[in-house]
Every structure is written in C-alpha cells, then in structure tokens.
Amino acid sequence: MKNLNLKQIIISKITLFVLFLLLLSSSYSFAQCNVHSNFKEIIEYLEKDSNNRYHVQITIINPGRNGGKSHRYTAYASGPSIGLNRNYCSKGLLLEGPNVFFSDRNLFDRKRVDRQYYQINVVNNSVEVTLQTWGNTKYTVRNLTKRGRLIYGFDDRGKMIVFDFMKTQRSTLE
C-alpha cells in the first residue's frame, strides 16, 4: 500500500512538472523579442491579465502644401480596444478599421469617414498605416516618441500621427 501511495505521489509530481513546463512554453514575454522601450509598459499591462485592454484614440495632422494653410486637415479616430496578440513580436499591436473623421469634410462629418488599419511594430518602434478606403495604400511612420500615454511620430512628408493609449478592461458577463 505504501508503494502505491509513493507511485501516486511521484506520478502527480511529474504531472505537475509537465503542466508547469507547458504553461511556461505557452507564455509570451520580453524574452521572445526585444520590445522597444516605448511599448514595454503597454505590453506588460496587456500580459498581466487577459481582460486588460487599451482603448486607443488616434489623431492625424496633415501639413499644408507649398506655404499654404498651416495644415490641410486634422483626422480623428476613436479606435477599437486592443488586447494582446499572442504574436506581438512578429505581428505587432493591431488596430483594425476604426472610422476616421476629417476636419476638411464638413467638420468631421459622420457620413464621410475613411477606414484605416494600423499595425504597430513594438520591436522596430514604427507603425504601418493602411488606408482601406483608398485602395489599401500604405505609409509607415518610424522612430516613434513616447510622452506619458501618448505615442507619436512623423512620416516622410511631415504628417503627424498621435496615439493616445488609455487603459481599460474587457467587460465580462457574470
């Protein structure tokens, strides 16, 4: 009888050890990739709890042309809440298809919006913007800067994009 209990104890310890190894191998941490310092706090918050999310507001300021107005338009989007993509090292943080409102279209007219897709590369500190309404045209903003909860940068033509990351949690039904 003692041998049976000893076997059960050994089997249960081996089972727990194997489960521990499985959990360890399925978790994603900074050890898998070198997350840029601008995004470490964001990734840490998203990794902490599967219900943690960020609501992201996006502002785009497009400069004037040839000494004209100070800017052609300002665009605003209240993006979707984002959670942690398990492949954030390779795929980044994805903001899919928020409606973008423009100041030059009857002051942010809800009937005249664009759809844009943002892929934030947390390793290379850049964002690729896909203009879905304009035939999936793309542009990239590199060398982003972080100030508080704002992350911003400029493209090659001087267009500024600002992301405002606000912590939130996914709502769960009891």
Neighbours of 166 (CB within 10 A): 11
Q: Which residue has the higher pLDDT, 75 or 90?
A: 90
pLDDT at residue 14, rounded to an integer: 72
CATH topology of domain 30-169: Lipocalin (2.40.128)
Contact 145, 151 (CB under 8 A): yes
pLDDT band at residue 169 using 50, 70 and 90 as cut-offs: confident
Contact 38, 151 (CB under 8 A): yes
Q: How far is CA 71 from the centre of its chain?
A: 27
- DSSP letter (8 states) at residue 161: E
Residue indicated by tokens 């795929």: 91
d(CA 147, CA 98): 23
pLDDT at residue 35, rounded to an integer: 94
Highest mean pLDDT of the ranges 44-48, 147-151, 166-170: 147-151
Domain boundaries along the sequence of the chain: 30-169
Q: Is the pLDDT of residue 41 over 90?
A: yes
Mean pLDDT over 63-81 rounds to 62
Neighbours of 35 (CB within 10 A): 19
What pLDDT digit, counting tens, does each position of 93-115 carry? Answer: 887 766 777 665 555 556 667 77
3-class DSSP assignment, residue 71: strand
Contact 168, 152 (CB under 8 A): no
pLDDT band at residue 80 using 50, 70 and 90 as cut-offs: low
Q: Is the pLDDT of residue 88 over 90?
A: no
Name the β-bridge partners of 128: 119, 140
Name the β-bridge partners of 16: none
Tell me the backbone φ, ψ of residue 131, rounded to 5 degrees. -90, 90
